[in-house]
């Protein structure tokens, strides 16, 4: 039963007499508990709603085009509370956050509904048989799964959850039901790498094509690990060996299945100082949101955007600056130089921001805080505009991780700040039009 927060004027529900404050109990005889139930059962051209209004139960019949919504508004997106993670993963980034940050940052999400609707990764440990059966019945596909290892005993250890070992068996059920899965393996040095990684890759490859892609991502290790499982980052040489191992197995999968299936995160290539594969290597960039192929895609888009540059105002001087993380600094510096070659009177300063907040092992731009930006840029030449990657902001685009606002940073640095998406075309367009 879900509270109806509002009814859109003129909608099918409004015309049928549904009112704000009613409780939705069933659709076509099926209990409604959350957004998945609602979206699944509302697709029929004829729907019969069972409502609770005050002391009464009401039946409301609605006819509509098959996939149209009926105009009900609920208090939350999920129509329910988000499900939190009960694991204590040895590599969990949230456990490595310092005290005093915004409360929502400490929430550990492990909700299968968000995996299907928003692309979040889930461990399959925080769900019961009803959840599993509903995924199969509703064909909730694709879903993203944090596997880490297919060895049951090791997975229980890594997730600090004695029930975590059944993941692969559940995945086999999903595969038999035709559920598409995208997976990730967060790699921890001396734990699930080496022979364990090879076993996991072999097991997951056996579930192809249901297991459509797998990303291999090194664990993020901050300086706030007091009392946690001892983890150390991979060295450049070790990163090279991981890439060779994954690429070698991926090539065998390409021969056997027609897909590489397994892809290393950009962070491993940057750590190893190895050249990135060509764009077609990533087979459509299915794991780009997980940091796989992002650098290659960005570089290729930038190269295409360069071809369309027309410096229509050669007399106009542009003075600006760019700031990014340690990992992306060489690439952004190269791009800035390429722009300067093609655009006269373009003056760009690129600044590498070290992550003092989380520690030097964290090199990605998305985890840089507003205060680190201020402390490392306050005495620098910034020009008219400072450009920053949009990934530095939270989802709502109004705050950095440390709750500092872009407006605060603008005032402290006395400069206009603009944000650039991880898109080579956006990079070129904004620098040339907003500088």
Count the alpha carbons within 13 Å of 434 in the hemisphere toward its beta carbon. 18
**What proportion of the chain, given as a percentage, has pLDDT over 90?**
72
Task: Indicate the pLDDT class of residue 393, thresholds 50, 70 and 90.
Answer: very high
Q: Can you tell me which residue has the tokens 């130089």? A: 337
The helix (run of H) or strand (run of E) holding residue 106 is none
CATH number of this structure's domain 2-74: 2.30.42.10
Which among 3-7, 84-88, 112-116, 125-129 has the top mean pLDDT? 3-7
pLDDT 10s digits, 347-358? 999 999 999 999
Higher-pLDDT residue of 33 and 196 is 196
Paired residues of 420 in beta bridges: 389
In the chain, CATH 2.30.42.10 covers: 2-74
Which pair of tokens denotes residue 121? 């990764």
Q: Is 80 exceeded by the pLDDT of residue 49?
A: yes
**pLDDT, the chain, mean:** 91
pLDDT 10s digits, 7-21? 999 999 999 999 999
| Stated length of the chain | 435
**CA torsion through residues 7, 10, 12, 17, sign:** positive
* CA dihedral of residues 381, 384, 387, 393 (deg, nearest 10): 100
- Quick one: pLDDT at residue 264? 98
pTM for the full predicted model:
0.85
Q: Is 90 exceeded by the pLDDT of residue 59?
A: yes
Which pair of tokens denotes residue 41? 């059962």
- Quick one: pLDDT at residue 33? 85
pLDDT 10s digits, 243-272? 999 999 999 999 999 999 999 999 999 999
- Quick one: pLDDT at residue 182? 96
In the chain, CATH 3.80.30.10 covers: 94-292
Phi then psi for residue 190, to 5 deg, are 75, 5
Task: Indicate the pLDDT class of residue 433, thresholds 50, 70 and 90.
Answer: confident
Q: Which fold has domain 301-434?
A: Rossmann fold (3.40.50)
CATH 3.30.470.20 fits 94-292, yes or no: no
Taking residues 52-69, report their average pLDDT.
91
Taking residues 342-367, report their average pLDDT.
92
Taking residues 380-398, report their average pLDDT.
91
Paired residues of 229 in beta bridges: none
User: Taking a C-beta distance cutoff of 8 angstroms, is the pair 145, 127 a contact?
Assistant: no
User: Taking a C-beta distance cutoff of 8 angstroms, is the pair 314, 345 a contact?
Assistant: yes
412-426 as b/e: b if 16+ CB within 10 A: bbebebbbbebbbeb
In 2-132, the DSSP E strands lie at 2-7, 23-27, 30-31, 46-53, 56-63, 72-74, 121-122
Q: Is 80 exceeded by the pLDDT of residue 121?
A: yes
Task: Indicate the pLDDT class of residue 342, thresholds 50, 70 and 90.
Answer: confident
Higher-pLDDT residue of 308 and 430 is 430
Residue in 151, 205, 152, 155 with CA at minimum distance from that of residue 175: 205
- Quick one: pLDDT at residue 111? 58
In the chain, CATH 3.40.50 covers: 301-434
- Quick one: pLDDT at residue 211? 97
Q: Is 70 exceeded by the pLDDT of residue 303?
A: yes
């Amino acid at each position: 039963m879900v509270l109806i927060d509002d009814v859109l004027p003129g909608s099918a529900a409004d015309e049928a007499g549904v009112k704000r404050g009613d409780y939705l109990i069933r659709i076509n005889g099926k209990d409604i508990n959350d957004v998945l139930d609602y979206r699944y059962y509302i697709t029929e051209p004829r729907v019969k709603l069972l409502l609770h209004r005050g002391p009464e139960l009401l039946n409301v019949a609605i006819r509509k085009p098959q996939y149209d919504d009926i105009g009900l508004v609920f208090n939350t997106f999920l129509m329910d509370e988000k499900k939190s993670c009960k694991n204590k993963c040895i590599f969990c980034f949230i456990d490595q956050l310092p005290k005093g940050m915004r409360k929502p940052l400490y929430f550990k999400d492990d909700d299968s509904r968000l995996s299907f609707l928003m692309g979040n990764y889930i461990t399959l440990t925080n769900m019961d048989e009803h959840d599993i059966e509903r995924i199969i019945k509703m064909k909730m596909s694709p879903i993203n799964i944090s596997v880490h290892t297919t060895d049951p005993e090791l997975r229980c250890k890594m997730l600090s959850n004695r029930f975590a070992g059944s993941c692969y068996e559940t995945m086999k059920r999903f595969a038999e039901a035709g559920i598409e899965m995208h997976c990730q393996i967060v790699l921890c040095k001396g734990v699930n790498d080496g022979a364990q990684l090879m076993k996991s890759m072999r097991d997951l490859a056996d579930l192809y094509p249901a297991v459509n892609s797998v990303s291999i991502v090194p664990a993020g290790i901050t300086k706030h690990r007091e009392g946690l499982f001892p983890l150390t980052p991979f060295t450049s040489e070790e990163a090279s060996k991981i890439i060779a191992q994954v690429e070698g197995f991926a090539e065998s999968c390409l021969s056997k299945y027609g897909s590489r299936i397994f892809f290393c995160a950009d962070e491993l290539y940057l750590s190893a100082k190895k050249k990135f594969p060509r764009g077609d290597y990533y087979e459509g960039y299915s794991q780009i949101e997980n940091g796989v192929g992002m650098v290659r895609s960005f570089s290729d888009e930038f190269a295409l955007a360069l071809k369309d540059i027309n410096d229509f105002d050669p007399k106009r001087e542009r003075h600006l600056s760019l700031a990014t993380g340690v990992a992306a600094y060489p690439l952004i510096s190269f791009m800035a130089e390429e722009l300067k070659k093609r655009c006269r009177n373009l003056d760009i300063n690129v600044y590498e921001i070290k992550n003092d907040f989380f520690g030097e092992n964290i090199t990605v731009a998305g985890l840089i805080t507003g205060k680190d930006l201020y402390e490392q840029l306050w005495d620098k030449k910034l020009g008219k505009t400072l450009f920053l990657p949009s990934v530095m902001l939270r989802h709502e685009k109004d705050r950095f991780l440390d709750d500092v606002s872009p407006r605060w940073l603008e005032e402290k640095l006395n400069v206009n700040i603009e944000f650039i998406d991880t898109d080579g075309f956006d990079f070129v367009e904004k620098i040339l039009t907003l500088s």
